[in-house]
Structure 1
Amino acid sequence: MEEKQQFEVWKEDVQPALTSKVEEFHMLGYDRATEEELWECVIAKLRREKKLVQIHYLVSSILTLKATDYMTWLTVGAYKAPNWFSSDEELVFGGN
């Protein structure tokens, strides 16, 4: 029987690593990076793992996350988001 990952249980335990990584990204100029987004990015990557992930591997994944990997994850997420311009409705800007 396949075991399911329970990352949410560890979220509070790895909070210092998330905070550190967000501060690093802010120093690199990625001011809009948040702990929640970094958490979702790392978890999305780890969910593809075939084996059971242990907490030390989770912390390592957070601390070794590269800004380029984070930005790629954001870009892919933006492409997967619903298309605002797909409807036939006319967009109205300002007070027209």
Structure 2
Amino acid sequence: MAEKQQFDVWKEDMEPVLDSKLDEFHLLGYNRATKEDIWRCVTERLNKKKHYVPFYAFTNELLNLKASVYMTWLTVNSYKEPEDWFAEFEETESKK
């Protein structure tokens, strides 16, 4: 029987790693990247694995996350999640 992953327990311990990865993405020009999105990207990818992922493997996966993998994940999720794409535009227009 496979053990259930509990990545959320590690989130506080991973803050320095998330900060480092966020800084890396911002330096590469991905200024809209967030720690929460990076976290969700890695945890969703690792939840697909059939075996238990230890802490060191999770850290390695987070540190080795490529910007292209992150951007692909964002693109796929943007199609999955219904979002009002024009809400931001409408807010700025109504303030004028």
The TM-score bracket by the shorter chain reads: 0.7 to 0.9
**Map of 1:66 onto structure 2:** 66
The structure richer in helix per residue is 2
2: CA distance between counterparts of 1:83 and 1:23?
A: 27
TM-score by length of 1: 0.84
Q: Of the two, which has the highest radius of gyration?
A: 1
Structure 1 unaligned segments of length 5 or more: list them. 85-92
- Superposed CA RMSD: 1.8
Q: Which runs of 4+ in 1 moved over 6 A?
A: none
How far is the alpha carbon of 1:83 from its aligned partner? 6.8
Aligned twin of 1:47 = 47
Structure 2 counterparts to residues 1-96 of structure 1, below 5 A: 1-82=1-82
C-alpha distance in structure 2 between counterparts of 1:38 and 1:81, whole Å: 17
TM-score, with length taken from structure 2: 0.84
Identity %: 52
Q: Is the 8 A contact 2:42 2:62 kept in 1?
A: yes
